[in-house]
């Protein structure tokens, strides 16, 4: 009986986490010039798709004007992307983006690309970025007002 | 008889002009990600090819450091490109670039893209550009030291 | 008095012409990776913008499925583009596209790119294309069902 | 004394491993249209650099014609890339590429991008790919003649 009660609480905790996570969706259509000689979207173009979706996220959730005023640049330091299913000419794609809890200097975006027609997973990626100072180009510790800014994603 | 002698001189003059025109050649290989869904190089990629060849020209003939020091930006204002023969995956291309005599504000680059294996003309383009001031972003009249700079191409 | 009546008829004629021309509008936002080292959209990216807008036109007005079934490829043979005002990061752009009356083998698309906020003209272009056979890769004469197809644009 | 002799053998073994690994180097120059609004090479462009260097590897070490004849497509399934130092306009870059020992279905390319002038590491990447059949689009087990083909990299 104790066990049952325990797993119930666990379930609630998961639901909470999902609710608190801010996720944006961004849609785009595959163009003829995204296709490469194999007839599917070239691996490099997906990074453009992901970047479009991250800026859309930043606009909707984090406000790019604040980063502009503060002189904070968003600089990608690592990308891990897995290609699951090839996307083809004129496919409508939906990209879901959310952010992990910010670290001391890094933030990690989790991005999933789905084909709209059948919700098939096309690719998924983890994109780590830091904030650098526009003047010094050095990475900034995520404290104070920058911490507050990144917590908008949570 | 006077007429014959006259046309002979005219012919010499034309030969001279051709000799004096500085032309650079730039080679590149077609990549898989340049190919679009029709299996040939996408029309937009050719503008990257032309830009690579123009910077190569500027380096070889005009010296980009001078423009950098003077605060002169090379800004494209018009492109006319004709696509003659499709370029395919792994084709070696050769781009020939020369400049027309500079006008009051514009310079026109003449660029031809050939396939190396058979010298077939792939595309030809006229690219007009102006010089703008890095600080004011206004187009500059081609006079004085800027005139001297552009005449390096002749 | 005769003159006034005459110019009235002339005005009506112009209105008719405008009504008959089918124009589509396509919007997109300038991304950070469209920007080049001069801080504005690179000249080559505009050809991607134009291609996106033309496919949007083909979908809305001409039906890409028919061309697919018939084995007609849309092949660009010439582009003339004039860059009027630089587009900057996060500008919203509106592209207006219409087609000229089809010739014997060529169709010409007229495309204008405006900045949405102030209707400033960013660039305008004429893009000539032909139809080639998917099997023979030869250009097709615009007659019969292909003529009928291209006249959808009028 | 036994210990000293032991470490000597160990050293020899490492030297052997290095000799047996086939590595190619590919050089390219950063273009103005590779730069994004932050003034450095955009994260997506590096995937084009890596793809250029992998095809160069395939040409030099593995022979692309064999893959073409056999109907084997090289399909990227995962990329992990770490951006170390920003590359800037007109930097000369050198990309070193080698392949890990092939697995049952996957091969992993190890790629490092250096700035030529000071050998600074710009980015490093692991790129996993599989071979798919051109006709069925299914991944192929790396056995038989495909095994032999991939072992050219060792």
Q: ipTM of the predicted structure?
A: 0.87
Domain tally, chain B:
1
Residues in chain D closer than 8 A to B90 (CB atoms): 55, 64
Given C47, C51, C83, which is nearest B76 (Cβ)?
Answer: C83
At A21 the pLDDT is 80
The DSSP secondary structure of D79-93, one letter per residue, reads: EEEEE-S---TT-EE
To probe the interface with A, which of C47, C52, C91 has the most A CB atoms within 10 Å?
Answer: C52
Strand order in the sheet with C92-99: B24-29, B92-99, B106-115, B121-133, B72-83, C72-83, C121-133, C106-115, C92-99, C24-29
The DSSP secondary structure of D126-152, one letter per residue, reads: EEEEEEEETTT-PBPPS-HHHHHHHGG
Given D48, D75, D83, which is nearest A78 (Cβ)?
Answer: D83
At A20 the pLDDT is 57
Burial category of A30 from C-beta neighbours within 10 Å (exposed 0-12, middle 13-18, buried 19 and up)? buried
Q: What angle do CA B123, B127, B131 make, to 5 degrees?
A: 160
> Are D78 and A81 within 8 A, CB to CB?
yes
B7 found inside a domain:
no
pLDDT level of residue A94 (50, 70, 90 thresholds): very high
State percent of chain C over pLDDT 90.
86
Q: What is the pLDDT of residues D31-79, one digit of tens each?
A: 999 999 999 999 999 999 999 999 999 999 999 999 999 999 999 999 9
At B20 the pLDDT is 57
To probe the interface with A, which of C27, C32, C50, C53 has the most A CB atoms within 10 Å?
Answer: C32
Which residue from C51, B85, D138 is spatially nearest to A31, judged by alpha carbons?
A: C51
Q: Tell me if chain C has a CB within 8 Å of the CB of D85.
A: no
A7 found inside a domain:
no
The DSSP secondary structure of A80-99, one letter per residue, reads: EEEE-S---TT-EEEEEEEE
Residue D11 has pLDDT above 90, yes or no: no
> Are D80 and A75 within 8 A, CB to CB?
no
**Count of alpha carbons within 13 angstroms of residue A120, beta-carbon side:** 12
- Give the Cα separation of C112 and C21 in Å (integer): 15
At A13 the pLDDT is 45
- Give the Cα separation of A32 and C55 in Å (integer): 9
Q: Tell me if chain A has a CB within 8 Å of the CB of D32.
A: no
> Are A55 and C32 within 8 A, CB to CB?
yes
Q: Which domain covers residue A118, as residue numbers?
A: 21-153
C89 found inside a domain:
yes
At C20 the pLDDT is 57
Q: Active site includes D63?
A: no
Residue A77 has pLDDT above 80, yes or no: yes
Which residue from B28, B19, B73 is spatially nearest to B53, judged by alpha carbons?
A: B28
- Give the Cα separation of C127 and C47 in Å (integer): 10
At A4 the pLDDT is 41
DSSP B38: T
Active site residues of A: 36
* CATH label of the domain that carries residue A103: 3.10.129.10
- Give the Cα separation of D84 and D92 in Å (integer): 16
Average pLDDT across chain D, whole number: 90
3-class DSSP state for residue A31? coil
pLDDT level of residue B15 (50, 70, 90 thresholds): very low
Instruction: Enumerate residues 92 to 151 of chain D having a beta carbon within 8 A of any beta carbon in chain A.
Output: none
B76 found inside a domain:
yes
At C7 the pLDDT is 42
**Count of alpha carbons within 13 angstroms of residue C124, beta-carbon side:** 6
B3 found inside a domain:
no
If you measure CA to CA, which chain B residue comes closest to C77?
B83
Given C39, C44, C89, which is nearest D33 (Cβ)?
Answer: C44
Identify each DSSP E strand in chain A by its residue range: 24-29, 72-83, 92-99, 106-115, 121-133
At A12 the pLDDT is 44
Chain A neighbours, 3+ Cβ pairs < 8 A: B, C, D
**What is this structure's pTM?**
0.88
Q: Tell me if chain B has a CB within 8 Å of the CB of C21.
A: no
Mean pLDDT of A24-50: 97
Which residue from D29, D129, D41, D136 is spatially nearest to D88, judged by alpha carbons?
A: D41
If you measure CA to CA, which chain B residue comes closest to D55?
B31
Mean pLDDT of B72-89: 98
C56 found inside a domain:
yes
State percent of chain B over pLDDT 70.
87
B1 found inside a domain:
no
Q: Are the CB atoms for B51 and D30 separated by under 8 Å?
A: no
Average pLDDT across chain A, whole number: 90
Q: Tell me if chain A has a CB within 8 Å of the CB of C31.
A: yes
> Are C33 and D39 within 8 A, CB to CB?
no
At D21 the pLDDT is 80
A115 found inside a domain:
yes
> pLDDT below 70 — which residues of chain C?
1-20
């Amino acid at each position: 009986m104790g066990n049952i009660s325990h797993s119930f609480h666990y379930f609630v905790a998961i639901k909470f986490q999902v609710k608190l996570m801010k996720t944006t969706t961004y849609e785009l259509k595959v163009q003829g010039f995204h296709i490469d000689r194999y007839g599917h979207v070239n691996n490099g173009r997906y990074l453009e798709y992901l970047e479009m979706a991250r800026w859309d996220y930043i606009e909707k959730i984090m406000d790019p004007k604040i980063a502009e005023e503060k002189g904070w640049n968003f600089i990608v330091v690592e990308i891990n992307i897995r290609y699951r299913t090839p996307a083809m000419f004129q496919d409508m794609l939906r990209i879901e983006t959310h952010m992990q809890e910010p670290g001391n200097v890094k933030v990690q975006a989790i991005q999933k690309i789905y084909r709209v027609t059948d919700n098939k997973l096309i690719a998924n990626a983890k994109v780590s970025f830091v904030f650098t100072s526009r003047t010094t180009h050095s990475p900034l510790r995520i404290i104070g007002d920058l911490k507050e800014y990144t917590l908008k994603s949570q």
